[in-house]
Amino acid sequence: MPQTRDRAVVIGGGFAGLLAARALAAHFATVTVIERAPRADAARRRGVPQFHHPHGLLHRGAEALETLFPGLRAELRERGAATFDFGERTRILFPSGWAPAGPVGVDHLACSRALLDDLLHQRVAVLPPVRQVTATATDLIRHDGRVAGVRDTTGAAHPAELVVDASGRTSRLTDWLTRSGTPVPARAHVFAGLTYVTRAYEDTLDQDWHMFTEMTYAPTIRRGCLIQRVEADRVLLTLIGADGVRPPYDTDGFEEYAAALRSPHPLDVIKTCTPLGRTYRYGGLHNHWNPYHHMRDWPDGLIALGDAVAALNPIYGHGLTVAALEALALRDLLAQNPGRGLARRFQRTAADVIRVPWLLASRSDAAWRPHTQRPSARLTNWALRRCLSRVPHHPELYRKVVNVQNLLAHPATLASPWP
């Protein structure tokens, strides 16, 4: 597609930033990605504290990535990533029992964050319009009521027709807007109190599954785990604590925490697999949504996406998929060639992408603080608990749950009557 615009700037070179750069590259002569750490230090970037923890691409997210980067799925598989039917190769222990085993027609892509980021960076780095600047964005440049670029810590100014904030949970966009005289609505916040601790092991498991989850469940089950097999014959064991519970990361405490879980699988990993390196903790995770789509005076020339808009409890696995869908929406809006008003249109479109994942995460996590729940939220959680209590004995209901979780169906499809 011919480029019709001059310059764009992306704040942040992580997952969302790379996807945004890909969406912009077909429409701008120059796309500058401002990232505070050199690519060689990607694994230690403060903006990617979850780098060492399990990641997976939901079915819909993998489809969006394939649209943006044709052939990426095959390339990931060539490098050791696994694609499998979620129902066949995943084992989930619900509070009421084990999920039914069998095909559900929904694919899951499992790989390490390192592999995914590396391949995306390689794809984006060779796009002619893209260049990377190692710095930290410090403020927006405003001109005639619109955003006209970014300043960084080196003192440089980066003029642009469009600025994309993809800087994640650490985004300072609300501060910049407020400082420039643009009031921002209050952030929506839902407590989760999630912490997880991960360690990698040599994969010598004798199991027929590729991924295992023992769920936390508000307001009573605060401990859980996730096991994911990834490329290079490794398995990642993650111990999860919710509602303020913090799994230990010392060797003895890690093993004791695993032994206290309901499933034998996490302890089996510890006892039979050789550890590879240290443990990593990531905590203080909640849900928040900056409702930029409600702002009537949202400045032209500025958009925000990914965790810079809405950061979701990662236990539900929606973050990567939401960022991919938003990048795809940005690409499509640019292809329609809208002029003035693009920014507001995108924020409303992003809100449409976020709405269902936010509903799933926030309504579930609100149960950790039941005294703050609205009656509608209490009713939703009551219905969800009833639904999940039936899942172990009803494969068709489980198939519906998997489709909703993968953003392939609306939660309304889970409404009773149930079997």
Identify the CA nearest to 305 among candidates 353, 340, 258, 265: 353
| 334 within domain boundaries | yes
- Both 138 and 154 in a single domain? yes
Q: How many Å apart are CA 218 and CA 177, to the nearest integer? A: 36
Each residue's pLDDT tens digit, 82-118: 999 999 999 999 999 999 999 999 999 999 999 999 9
Please state the domain count of the chain. Answer: 3
CB count, 10 Å around CB of 313? Answer: 24
**CB within 8 Å of 70: residues ≥ 6 apart:** none
**Structure-token pair, residue 206:** 């004798």
**How, if at all, do strands 211-214 and 90-94 pair?**
parallel
User: What phi and psi values does residue 409 have, to the nearest 5 degrees?
Assistant: -150, 155
| 261 within domain boundaries | yes
**How, if at all, do strands 107-111 and 130-134 pair?**
unpaired
Q: Taking 90 as the threshold, does the pLDDT of residue 381 lie above it?
A: no
Is the peptide bond prior to 411 cis by the omega test (within 30 degrees of 0)?
no
If you write DSSP's letter for every residue of 133-187 in order, what string do you get? Answer: EES-EEEEEEETTEEEEEEETTS-EEE-SEEEE--GGG--HHHHHHHTT---PPP
| 134 within domain boundaries | yes
What pLDDT score was predicted for residue 382? 82
Q: Taking 90 as the threshold, does the pLDDT of residue 242 lie above it?
A: yes
What pLDDT score was predicted for residue 221? 94
- Both 60 and 173 in a single domain? yes
What pLDDT score was predicted for residue 39? 61
Q: Taking 90 as the threshold, does the pLDDT of residue 379 lie above it?
A: no
Give me the chain's average pLDDT, please.
92
Q: Which of 342, 361, 380 is the last residue of a domain?
A: 361
What radius of gyration do the chain's Cα atoms show?
21
- Both 36 and 55 in a single domain? yes
H or E element in which residue 85 lies: strand 82-85
Q: How many Å apart are CA 235 and CA 78, to the nearest integer? A: 18
Give the three-state DSSP class for 400: helix
H or E element in which residue 112 lies: none
Q: Which residue has the tokens 């509070």?
A: 95
- Both 267 and 307 in a single domain? no
- Both 27 and 125 in a single domain? yes
Q: How many Å apart are CA 194 and CA 243, to the nearest integer? A: 6
Each residue's pLDDT tens digit, 188-213: 999 999 999 999 999 999 999 999 99
Helix, strand counts (H, E) of the chain: 12, 19
CATH number at residue 153: 3.50.50.60
Each residue's pLDDT tens digit, 7-64: 999 999 999 999 999 999 999 999 999 998 766 544 444 445 567 888 878 999 999 9
CATH number at residue 224: 3.30.9
Q: Taking 80 as the threshold, does the pLDDT of residue 253 lie above it?
A: yes
Q: Taking 70 as the threshold, does the pLDDT of residue 403 lie above it?
A: yes
- Both 355 and 402 in a single domain? no
Q: Which of 250, 285, 320 is the last residue of a domain?
A: 285
- Both 301 and 235 in a single domain? no
| 152 within domain boundaries | yes
| 132 within domain boundaries | yes
> 400 pairs with which residues across the strands?
none
pTM for the predicted model, two decimal places: 0.94
- Both 91 and 76 in a single domain? no
| 419 within domain boundaries | no
* Average confidence (pLDDT) over 230-251: 95
What pLDDT score was predicted for residue 42? 47
What percentage of the chain exceeds 90 in pLDDT? 81
- Both 263 and 334 in a single domain? no
- Both 200 and 150 in a single domain? no
| 366 within domain boundaries | no
Q: Who wins on pLDDT, 3 or 202?
A: 202
Where in the sequence is the domain holding 247, given as residue range(s)? 83-112+190-285
What pLDDT score was predicted for residue 38? 67
What pLDDT score was predicted for residue 377? 76
| 75 within domain boundaries | yes
- Both 148 and 43 in a single domain? yes
**Structure-token pair, residue 22:** 């890909």
Q: Which of 285, 308, 336 is the last residue of a domain?
A: 285
- Both 348 and 292 in a single domain? yes
* Average confidence (pLDDT) over 323-347: 91
What pLDDT score was predicted for residue 371? 78
> 152 pairs with which residues across the strands?
137
Q: How many Å apart are CA 155 and CA 7, to the nearest integer? A: 19
Place 373 in a pLDDT band, splitting at 50, 70 and 90. confident
